[in-house]
């Protein structure tokens, strides 16, 4: 179990929430007061003045919890805290010579009463240290989650300009060669940008919508290149399935970018299959006869790999097959 999962379980546990939640503080105090009061009430046969002992225990408990522990232990002033406890024990011993809370026939046992005092101090210190430890862990968890969200947003924002740059560059080339095709490219590009601006702003999008987005992208490429073809295969029940936006475009964009072949037709085939609460995605593209020396443009793949690590740290599988004829990316995501 990773730290994120562990901390999430802690945050969702009812007992832990009761012990550390500020909103439940009054209930914790009432429970403590009732517990100490019940113990002393059942000890009236031994204790002559249970009210005085109750006040002593409650005062000691809260002075230690809200004064000594925060001001000394939490600030690593351990020696000062130990000296404070010793002073309390000395005061207890001195007061024991003048005040005996027990019945007259029961002598005050100073070592026993001192032991009870130390036990009460240890209990209140343990509770406070436990609360601080759990609060710090939850704070670290929330900070990590916030950092993860910020990183995901940054990665998504890096993908969008990268994709837009490529498409505008394609349109710029076509304006000189074929203005009509350039117009078609710009129209399709506007549809793609509409999807990016509105749908990709959400945490999740429908898989069917994302597939339609990829289809528009490949159609756009088909308009630009005569010797290009693509296939989109869909199996299983895709309706209602949601995925993070713009998660698959980098694979497809990379496939299109690196399969341009001037000597023969090229292709990109996409396969989608949903079964057993898993999404299977495969992207296969042909490779050109003459390998391109241009190795730029890897930003999208780096980003999508990082997004997969953040979004599905232990519930995804990514494999890449690269041979002389084709390049294949296989991705499995647990839905």
pLDDT of 200-220, one tens digit each? 677 788 999 899 889 988 887
- Nearest 5°: CA angle at 222, between 245 and 318? 40
| Phi/psi of residue 316, nearest 5 degrees | -140, 155
The two tokens of residue 97 are 């010579």
pLDDT number for residue 233: 95
Q: In the listed set 141, 169, 193, which residue is the last one of a domain according to the structure?
A: 141
Q: How far apart are CA 35 and CA 47, in angstroms?
A: 16
Beta bridge partners of 327: 285, 322
How does pLDDT run across 120-145, given as a tens digit for each residue?
889 888 888 888 888 777 777 765 66
Domain CATH code at residue 307: 3.30.565.10
Q: How far apart are CA 237 and CA 192, in angstroms?
A: 25
Q: Do 329 and 241 sit in the same domain of this protein? A: yes
Has residue 125 been placed in a domain?
yes
Q: How far apart are CA 212 and CA 234, in angstroms?
A: 12
Beta bridge partners of 271: 233, 282
Beta bridge partners of 268: 230, 285
Q: Do 132 and 214 sit in the same domain of this protein? A: no
pLDDT higher than threshold 60 for residue 1: no
Q: Do 134 and 280 sit in the same domain of this protein? A: no
Q: How far apart are CA 305 and CA 308, in angstroms?
A: 5
Q: In the listed set 122, 141, 160, which residue is the last one of a domain according to the structure?
A: 141
Q: Do 286 and 230 sit in the same domain of this protein? A: yes
pLDDT number for residue 293: 47
Q: Across 156-170, 272-286, 299-313, which has the greatest mean pLDDT?
A: 272-286
pLDDT number for residue 9: 45
How does pLDDT run across 50-80, given as a tens digit for each residue?
788 888 888 988 899 889 998 888 888 889 9
pLDDT higher than threshold 50 for residue 295: no
Has residue 46 been placed in a domain?
yes
Q: Do 96 and 209 sit in the same domain of this protein? A: no
CA atoms within 13 Å, Cβ hemisphere of 318? 14
Q: Do 129 and 216 sit in the same domain of this protein? A: no
Domain that holds residue 128: 3-141
Instruction: Give the residue, 47 or 175, on which the prediction is more confident.
Output: 175
- With beta carbons less than 8 A apart as the criterion, state whether 166 and 253 touch: yes
Q: Do 27 and 129 sit in the same domain of this protein? A: yes
Has residue 147 been placed in a domain?
no
Q: Do 22 and 133 sit in the same domain of this protein? A: yes
Q: Do 223 and 329 sit in the same domain of this protein? A: yes
Has residue 170 been placed in a domain?
no
pLDDT number for residue 134: 80
Q: Do 129 and 184 sit in the same domain of this protein? A: no
Has residue 148 been placed in a domain?
no
Residue 216 neighbours by CB distance under 10 Å: 15
Q: How far apart are CA 18 and CA 88, in angstroms?
A: 31
| Secondary structure class of 229 (helix, strand, coil) | strand
Has residue 159 been placed in a domain?
no
Instruction: Give the residue, 277 or 3, on which the prediction is more confident.
Output: 277
Which of 215, 214, 224 lies closest to 186 in space, CA to CA? 224
- With beta carbons less than 8 A apart as the criterion, state whether 252 and 297 touch: no
How does pLDDT run across 236-278, given as a tens digit for each residue?
999 899 998 888 888 998 888 888 777 788 899 999 999 989 9
pLDDT number for residue 146: 57
Q: In the listed set 141, 169, 198, which residue is the last one of a domain according to the structure?
A: 141
pLDDT number for residue 334: 92
* Confidence band for 45, pLDDT divided at 50, 70 and 90: low
pLDDT number for residue 160: 52
Beta bridge partners of 329: 283, 320
Has residue 154 been placed in a domain?
no
Cα dist. 110→101, 107, 115, 118, 180 in Å? 12, 9, 8, 12, 100
Has residue 14 been placed in a domain?
yes
Q: Do 115 and 259 sit in the same domain of this protein? A: no
Which of 89, 86, 87, 124 lies closest to 110 in space, CA to CA? 89
Give the chain's domain count.
Answer: 2
Q: How far apart are CA 289 and CA 259, in angstroms?
A: 9
Q: Do 106 and 218 sit in the same domain of this protein? A: no
- With beta carbons less than 8 A apart as the criterion, state whether 285 and 255 touch: yes
| Secondary structure class of 232 (helix, strand, coil) | strand
| Phi/psi of residue 273, nearest 5 degrees | -145, 125
């Amino acid at each position: 179990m990773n730290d994120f999962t562990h901390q999430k379980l802690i945050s969702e546990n009812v007992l832990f929430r009761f012990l550390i939640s500020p909103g439940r503080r009054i209930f914790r105090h009432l429970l403590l007061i009732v517990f100490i009061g019940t113990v002393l009430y059942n000890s009236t046969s031994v204790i002559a003045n249970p009210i005085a002992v109750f006040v002593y225990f409650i005062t000691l408990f809260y002075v230690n919890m809200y004064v000594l522990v925060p001001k000394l232990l939490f600030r690593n002033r351990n020696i000062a805290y130990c000296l404070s406890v010793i002073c309390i024990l000395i005061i207890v011993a001195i007061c024991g010579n003048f005040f005996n809370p027990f019945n007259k026939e029961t002598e005050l046992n100073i070592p026993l009463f001192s032991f009870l005092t130390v036990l009460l101090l240890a209990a209140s210190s343990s509770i406070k240290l436990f609360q601080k430890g759990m609060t710090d862990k939850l704070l670290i968890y929330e900070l990590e989650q916030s950092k993860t969200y910020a990183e995901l947003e940054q990665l998504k924002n890096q993908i969008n300009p990268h994709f837009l740059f490529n498409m505008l560059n394609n349109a710029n080339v076509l304006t000189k060669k074929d203005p009509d095709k350039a117009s078609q490219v710009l129209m399709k590009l506007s549809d793609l940008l509409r999807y990016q601006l509105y749908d990709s702003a959400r945490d999740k999008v429908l898989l069917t919508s994302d597939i339609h987005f990829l289809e528009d992208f490949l159609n756009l490429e088909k308009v630009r290149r005569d010797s290009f073809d693509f296939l989109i295969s869909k199996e299983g029940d895709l309706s209602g399935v949601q995925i993070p936006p713009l998660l698959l475009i980098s694979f497809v964009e990379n496939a299109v970018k690196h399969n341009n072949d001037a000597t023969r037709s090229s292709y990109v085939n996409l396969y989608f299959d949903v079964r057993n609460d898993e999404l299977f995605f495969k992207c296969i593209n042909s490779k050109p006869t003459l390998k391109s020396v241009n190795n730029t443009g890897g930003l999208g793949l780096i980003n999508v790999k990082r997004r997969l690590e953040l979004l599905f740290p232990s519930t995804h599988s990514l494999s890449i097959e690269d041979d002389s004829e084709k390049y294949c990316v296989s991705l499995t995501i647990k839905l």
